[in-house]
Amino acid sequence: MPIEVAQFICLSDNFGLLVHDRETGAAASVDAPDGEAIAAEAERRGWPLTHLLITHHHLDHIEGWEVLKKRFPGMKIVGSANDAHRLPPLDQPVSDGEEVRVGASRAQVIATPGHTAGHVVYYFPDDDAVFVGDTLFSLGCGRVFEGTMDEMRLSLEKIANLPGETRIYCGHEYTQSNGRFAVTVDPENRMLLDRVRDVSDLRAAGQFTLPTTVALENATNPFLRVEDPLVKKAMGMDGADPFLVFAEMRERKNRFA
């Protein structure tokens, strides 16, 4: 049976994300931005939490863990073994290629260093869903705080190479602001221009722009299109190495108002 996913806003623009295994009733929160909001939504749905899947150590992704642990004492905390020293106490430290079970549903752990050194994402291959934290955003990507630009690009490629129908759940609602930058480096991409308009309509109606899909991001997210000659031309980098294009694009996004 496929998983159910619930998403809702926490704090200002973080997503609360709940994953429910229909077969067993097990449920996971992906990260813990706001313990009270997440607990309330889990209880409202009748999905008592059995797991907390942590993507990375930044405070806006873990600060609610103690509230959740008090409300759901049996909740198992899962996170990167490499980052165990700066995460909540882990019941299941995980590394790249390992598997996490949420009831009968299985998630593959994919290491995605770049935004942070120990960032991981959780890919549910049987359910065509991946929870990417702050590595990839719709029409954008996370800032590179701890890793290198090359590491970040390679991490993004891991996600981009998943099946096209895979639904992507990100850590923040950033699509509209990302779109404003995306059109500056990929201005001839008709699919991107159409998508930016669609995103504007969704936000004006108070609706989320996520989940997105791997196929849609590969077609419209400039950070996944650094090999495209039109992107290179628009950036004044004809013939440049894609890794250099990516690094320059990320630096431009950092300065973008």
Active site (catalytic) residues: 56, 58, 60-61, 115, 134, 172
CB 156 within 8 A of CB 223: yes
* Distance, CA of 162 to CA of 66 (rounded, Å): 33
Beta bridge partners of 123: 108, 130
Query: What's the one-letter identity of residue 108?
Result: Q
CA distances from 127 to 4, 65, 106, 165, 166 (A): 9, 26, 9, 10, 8
Beta bridge partners of 77: 52
According to DSSP, the β-strands at 92-94 and 76-80 are parallel
Coil/strand/helix, residue 45: helix
The answer for residues whose C-beta is within 8 angstroms of residue 146's C-beta and 6 or more apart is 113, 114, 115, 116, 117
